[in-house]
Amino acid sequence: MQFISPILGIITVIVAFLISVSPFSAYGLQIAALMMAIYVGASFLIRKHILSTDLRVTLDVLVFSLTATLLIFTTGGFTSPVFFLSYFLLFGVALFASPITATAITVTFALLFLVAPKQDFWLDLLQIGSLLAIAPLSIVFGKQYIKVLEDKKVITTLSQRF
């Protein structure tokens, strides 16, 4: 189960890139809206215990990574005015899923940089460099968040004992 989230993150980034270079790129906003509608519906079903709660993290990674990367790639790729969403995506994925998933998404972005059409090489290089520079920070925050959650469980267990 641990490898599903990194693979899912990689697939969603690649799918968003493929949509942006296909004729479907004109429908990027509609696809993002459809993903958000599916997310709201699935969240409702999870809250009503119709769907399993284990599906929650996988759904979060899928929807957030696909929506953010779709918006980024359909509005200009690495020169997009909403490229900053990739930073939020890395931090969100590191907190929701795992730091490994955030690393996988960053590496996928870097590999897509090699095949993406370049408008301004140096600006694109600066953007991907900033993404690679912020990735370790998101991983550290993700690990710290996991440690804080584990500490809370230990504290709760100890307080219940005494």
DSSP annotation string for 91-111: HHHHHHT-HHHHHHHHHHHHH
Both tokens assigned to 162: 């005494």
pLDDT in tens, 81-107: 898 888 888 888 888 787 888 888 888
User: Is residue 14 predicted with pLDDT exceeding 90?
Assistant: yes
Q: What is the mean pLDDT of residues 48-77?
A: 84
* Cα–Cα distance measured from residue 139 to residue 101, given in angstroms and rounded to the nearest whole number: 9
Cβ partners under 8 Å of residue 44, min gap 6: none
pLDDT in tens, 32-60: 899 999 999 988 888 888 877 777 888 88
pLDDT of residue 118: 73
* Cα–Cα distance measured from residue 66 to residue 36, given in angstroms and rounded to the nearest whole number: 10
pLDDT of residue 15: 92
* Cα–Cα distance measured from residue 103 to residue 88, given in angstroms and rounded to the nearest whole number: 14
| pLDDT-derived band at 18, boundaries 50, 70, 90 | very high
pLDDT of residue 156: 67
pLDDT in tens, 109-155: 888 888 877 777 788 788 888 888 888 888 888 788 778 878 777 66
User: Is residue 2 predicted with pLDDT exceeding 60?
Assistant: no
User: What 3-state DSSP class applies to 82?
Assistant: coil
Q: Is the four-CA dihedral 117, 106, 88, 60 of positive or negative sign?
A: positive
* Cα–Cα distance measured from residue 145 to residue 40, given in angstroms and rounded to the nearest whole number: 25
User: What 3-state DSSP class applies to 120?
Assistant: coil
